[in-house]
Amino acid sequence: MIVNTAGGIVGGDRFELDVSVAAGARVVVTSTAAEKIYRSLGPHAALDVKLKVAAAGSLAWLPQETIVFNGAQLERNVHIELADGAGLIFAEAVVFGRPGMGEEMQQGCLLDRWRIHRDGRILHAEAVRLEGAIAAKLAQRAVAKGAGAIATVLVVPADETAARAVRKNTFRGEVAASAWKGLMIVRLCARDGAALRKDLIAVLQTVRAVPLPRLLLN
């Protein structure tokens, strides 16, 4: 297991995380605490994540949530290269504001871009762009219907059987799972970080054959 966290990121910071998993190796990456993105007076904070998994290797990317403070500016790019036969569980959760402190993320920016390749070909690509009046946008039914925390879990390989197993859980928030072409994506949306964590742990316990890291369960 590798334990890795930046602890706190401010405007203008740039972090690069690069993880390579050798053929046949099994690696779990988690963090000791939530990642905090602090308020910025102007410049974006940049976080680039590059993951590479060789044939028959397996990577479980299971960090704790990213907390985006009011006024934060974050641009994150995730690039994942999977060899044919490689396995991946990739989970990322975002909490907007600090509900425990009575803080909403009224204003700010989150740019999140993911690109996943398998055997040199694009397997999945997505982007999230939220900027300006974040709380007002999250309140819209077509966006988050008032939820303050979201997460995505991506699993390779996976099929409809795995998606059905996820759907059998009882969740506090809204959770949906879809599978196609050997890939499963689970979307989570919850009122706050505590509810999201409960739902995310339930999903990960369903899709992961071995126990989760204790750091996630505390």
* pLDDT tens, position by position, 49-78: 999 999 999 999 999 999 999 999 999 999
Give the closest residue to 62 by CA, choosing from 26, 112, 28, 20.
28
Alpha carbon separation from 70 to 32, 106, 113 (Å, rounded): 23, 6, 21
Model pLDDT, residue 104: 85
- Neighbour-count burial for 128-141, b at 16+ CB within 10 Å, e otherwise: eebeeebbeebeee
- Contact between 201 and 30 under an 8 Å Cβ cutoff? The reply is no
CB atoms within 10 A of CB 63: 23
Q: Angle formed by the axes of helices 160-167 and 193-207, to 10°? A: 140
Model pLDDT, residue 210: 78
Q: pTM of the predicted model, to two decimals? A: 0.93
Model pLDDT, residue 121: 96
Percent of the chain at pLDDT > 90 equals 79
Contact residues for 213 (Cβ-Cβ < 8 A; gap 6+): 1, 28, 30, 62
Give the closest residue to 156 by CA, choosing from 177, 188, 179, 125.
179
Cα distance between residue 110 and residue 45, in whole Å: 10
Flag residues of the chain having pLDDT under 50. Answer: 4-5
- Contact between 99 and 65 under an 8 Å Cβ cutoff? The reply is no
Q: Cis (ω within 30 of 0) for the bond into 63?
A: no
- Contact between 99 and 193 under an 8 Å Cβ cutoff? The reply is yes
Strand order in the sheet with 73-82: 14-21, 45-53, 73-82, 107-118, 121-133
Model pLDDT, residue 130: 94
**What is the SS3 assignment for 31?**
coil
Helix (H) or strand (E) holding 202: helix 193-207
What residues are paired with 163 via a beta bridge? Answer: none
Model pLDDT, residue 3: 53
Model pLDDT, residue 33: 83
